[in-house]
Chain A
């Protein structure tokens, strides 16, 4: 058993329906990982460790969305055991890619994938953690940006608010000096309505933003939709653009219903 140092806050990492990518971001902090491990006690992080320390936990990082009755129960237990709860990634903050079921019929989805669908226990929807319990901070992205994760952890350790921009991807494009792919090349781009955080990589790689950080605050999706129509994007294509990794986030969900 490891010795516990009472001064180090206890960090727990939890997984719900997801691809594991956001918690992997923590292990991908190759330059910072050992420093982080020195500042906190990793008390529950199943992907990385067998050691499990009982709660309560000072900080819980929650990855994944709620898709089963059991998980809907489990998240309330995680909340009870956590002083601060931070959701990481598009699944936890918006229901993720698996929220595409919300626009169809889960029974029909089941029968396509499974030979004996009657054995599957699943909810008809995939929902964000904040729809079930109080969340203290949401970190966006599919996947999250690991520098932003380090910022959230540093802010927690210092007892301050995380300094995470709530601007749009457009602002990051300008900062990076990337010529607008939509204006210059007519490439459909969700940059104007998408939350910053990725560093505007897609336009820098000559493609339009596909919205993996979800909608920014007060996203003017109606205006973007008009522009997409001008560019010749069909209604069907437009719907698919909004319905990817953050399909159930309110502005994207509403706008996709108009298509």
Chain B
């Protein structure tokens, strides 16, 4: 047997990618997640821009998770300038991040991931067989977007996030209707956990090294140390001492790996497995009812973990709204200085690392951005190398669809991955 399976354009992922699998004598000889998303050079043109512009500019790396970029950028700038944003402003940052997790995870669970389990090409097809599920999905996603709109001004590329806080903070009265809808969303999220838990999952599990933020008191959004289940425990500022990005000849992309051990896995499964104890009781209870343990090693079950995180985000958003009192000022003043700042936050897809070097006037001298998808790319290929052999006799179209699913488990965002590049190596 000698064959090549080629998926010209991966569907239901953000951005543009393709997959190439080479099989010879019933063995997988090559797996390439090929990325043809054109480079957009953000790190290059950020140089010379003012430090206050980074949140608006880097948001444009991704329309699906702009808050992740705004949060990593603002924290990095505040780190450089020696400023801490605390109290209600910090809580509002968590609140808007809850909105992004809800809308992005709901999009992935129902629109990008669930159709695979139900044998549908897309959610529109799914809507015919399961209309109530899709209607609930849309309303749940809308609840997340409502947070983004109120706190951020709009759902995609919000305008209200600034270094030091916000331009305008909401009144308690404005948050009232949001809370009403979030109570419905919390119930819907709990039902979603139960619904996705009943899907049928392929037997597949990997001994991942999970990397996520860990905060002493909270399920992580914006702060914490970077930890793993295999001994990593570092400050965010030490990221580049432990993670290397390399160009590998068989691939189109820069691969991130841990210098000490190799591939690692970021995202909901990593966060969950490293921070189960920090989930709210209602989210822990739902996870247990869904049959999840304290850790989860089957990437196909990431759909359950995402649902648990949606439930957590609804619950956390309600807690923040309940305790909210408008702060005296919408932001704390931030004066630039010549320094380097680091920021890392938990995008829906995993850790998003930013580093900026500023000059005394606050101009960006150098910028470095490592998005979650470029960190997971090596892991995705490793998954496929393990996943394919037991399924190698499947008809090509079925094997292809299953491999696509194995990629979609990661909710890969190829638009984000500024480092993905087109290699043209002749052999």
Contacts and interface: CB of A to CB of B under 8 A. Distances in A.
Interface stretch (A18-26, A77-85, A131-139, A248-256): A18-26
On chain A, which size bracket covers the interface?
A: 35 or more
B41 A113 contact: yes
Contacts of B14: 20, 47
Contacts of A70: 36
A109 B111 contact: no
Contacts of A109: 41, 44-45
Given A71-B38, A101-B45, A240-B49, A21 B421 contact: no
Interface stretch (A116-124, A152-160, A163-171): A116-124
A51 interface: yes
Nearest to B103: A28
- By secondary structure, the B interface counts as loop
B52 to A, nearest CB: 10
Contacts of A205: 153, 159-160, 167-168
Nearest to A201: B153
Contacts of B50: 237, 240
B424 A50 contact: no
B175 interface: no
Contacts of B53: 240, 244
Contacts of B61: 19
Contacts of A48: 11-12, 111-112, 122-124
A206 B43 CA distance: 29
A49 interface: yes
A121 B35 CA distance: 12
A68 B154 contact: no
Contacts of B160: 205, 207
Nearest to B245: A115
Given A119-B425, A207-B167, 14 more contacts: A21-B60, A31-B142, A33-B138, A34-B138, A46-B11, A46-B16, A50-B121, A97-B60, A110-B39, A112-B47, A119-B422, A142-B157, A206-B167, A206-B168
Interface of B: 9-16, 36-45, 47, 49-50, 53, 56-57, 60-64, 66, 103, 107, 111-112, 115, 121-125, 127, 134-135, 138-139, 141-142, 145, 153-157, 159-160, 162, 167-168, 247, 254, 330, 401, 404, 413, 415, 418-419, 421-425
